[in-house]
Amino acid sequence: MKKILSFLLLLNAAQIAYSQQLSEKVQIQNVLNTFMNCVIKKDSVAFYPLFHKDPIVWVGVVKEKSHLQDLKKNPKAGDLFLSDYRSFIRSMYDASKYEEKFYNVKINEDGFIASVTFDYSFWIDGKKQNWGSESWGLIKTKGLWKITSVIFSVEEENISPEPKKEN
């Protein structure tokens, strides 16, 4: 009887741990969804609280084909750029329609820190502008997941179209 009771307690603990982990992943997925919706709605009020206190690492690396094209226009063009989340959302305040799509999302977390990697494409007025891979670092503080870093690669769609992904 003790073995059965111990087994049931262990099973219950494992189930609780699994559901808590699932809940964390759902919370992190909600951060991604809010991010995408803020881009569409140009909503800085909802966007800013997604991030932890500054400084937030925000680095884009230009992929080779796009970088080679940039060098033809400007021989001193760098292959990376630094920015921040405030500049990113402010750059969308014009009349254009913006959208960033995330797919192939992978979330790795331990309840306190998380890394999220995914492929993305960035659209303006219904036309894909660029695409690449993105990685976020997050921490959970005061019960909320906050983005601490955003790093991504960029390939211009008109220079190197995004390969079709198999499902």
| Cα gap 128→113, rounded to integer Å | 32
| Contact indicator for 1, 88 with CB cutoff of 8 Å | no
Contacts of 57 (CB under 8 A, 6+ apart): 137, 148, 149, 150, 151
Query: Residue 12: which H helix or E strand, with range?
Result: helix 2-41
| Contact indicator for 56, 85 with CB cutoff of 8 Å | yes
Instruction: Going residue by residue through the chain, which has 167 residues, state the pLDDT in tens, using 9 for 90 and above.
Output: 554 434 334 334 444 444 445 699 999 999 999 999 999 999 999 999 999 998 999 999 999 999 999 999 999 999 999 999 999 999 999 989 999 999 999 999 999 999 999 999 999 999 999 999 999 999 999 999 999 999 999 999 999 999 987 65
| Cα gap 24→28, rounded to integer Å | 6
Residue 55 corresponds to which tokens in the numbers above?
């400084």
What confidence tens digit (pLDDT) does each residue in 39-84 have? 999 999 999 999 999 899 999 999 999 999 999 999 999 999 999 9
| Cα gap 108→117, rounded to integer Å | 9
Contacts of 113 (CB under 8 A, 6+ apart): 137, 138, 139, 140
Domains detected in the chain: 2-156 (3.10.450.50)
For the whole prediction, is pTM greater than 0.75?
Answer: yes
